[in-house]
A and B are shown apart, each in its own frame.
Chain A
């Protein structure tokens, strides 16, 4: 596809369950970002991958959150033992270079924790 894709588009889960969110970046983009967007809030940086470098995990809110990027392409964001405050839209973006201004966003996954 031409753009960043994310799946699922919506996810409803019960408190305490684990969830996995997937991001397929634009082909050839070396940088990949995850953000969290809570209702009425701006985008909160979670994690950044650039090529084979160690990811910047400084935005992950707790050790229940983790992400990996396999083969420099697809990324998975995992939230373990979900809590109600994890409910948000999780956005993925990719970029052909380091520059923040060239980030292309996917449509997001809306996560609802009951």
Chain B
């Protein structure tokens, strides 16, 4: 089945630093999504990408849908303590209009 490789697994940064994480897939996706999960909560959608090459921003977050349709990255600029959490990428593949494949997540820790 489809698999997503998400990296890095964890990051420890200082407040104010920029962060980048990415996901790669063994197959083509039609949609890339980035979620954030806080402790004890379900994932919350941050950014959705629908076209190859698409670059989308949401405040300090920027994500891109790779040209090959097999990868995506998420950047967080000027990190703040509340950015702490687990970030997941997810992809929706060809032939499915509802099933998502999730990466294993990137645990972000921000030191104030």
For window 30-65 of chain A, which residues contact chain B by CB distance below 8 Å? Answer: 31, 33, 35, 40-45, 48, 50, 56
For window 90-109 of chain B, which residues contact chain A by CB distance below 8 Å? Answer: 90, 92, 96-105
From B4, B33, B42, B104, give the contact of A101 (CB < 8 A). Answer: B33
Contacts between chains A and B (CB distance < 8 A), count: 65
- List chain B residues, Cβ under 8 A from A93: 42
- List chain B residues, Cβ under 8 A from A33: 98
Q: A79 on the interface (CB 8 Å rule)?
A: no
Q: Is the CB of B92 within 8 A of A101?
A: yes
Number of A interface residues in the complex (CB < 8 A):
25
- List chain B residues, Cβ under 8 A from A29: none
Cα–Cα, bound, A1→B20 (Å) = 35
CB distance from A98 to the nearest CB of B (A): 5
For window 54-92 of chain B, which residues contact chain A by CB distance below 8 Å? Answer: 88, 90, 92
Q: Given A4-B42, A98-B97, A105-B44, does the pair A42, B33 have CB atoms closer than 8 Å?
A: no
Cα–Cα, bound, A31→B33 (Å) = 18
Q: Is the CB of B98 within 8 A of A100?
A: yes
Give chain A's interface residues, CB within 8 Å of chain B.
Answer: 4, 31, 33, 35, 40-45, 48, 50, 56, 91, 93, 95, 98-101, 103, 105-108
Q: Is the CB of A101 within 8 A of B48?
A: yes
Cα–Cα, bound, A35→B102 (Å) = 10
> Size range of the interface on B?
20 to 34
Q: Is the CB of B92 within 8 A of A100?
A: yes
From B6, B100, B101, B105, give the contact of A103 (CB < 8 A). Answer: B100
Of chain B, the residue at the smallest CB distance from A92 is: B42
Q: Is the CB of A106 within 8 A of B42?
A: yes
- List chain B residues, Cβ under 8 A from A45: 99-101
Of chain B, the residue at the smallest CB distance from A31 is: B98
Of chain B, the residue at the smallest CB distance from A106 is: B42
Cα–Cα, bound, A100→B87 (Å) = 17
Q: B11 on the interface (CB 8 Å rule)?
A: no
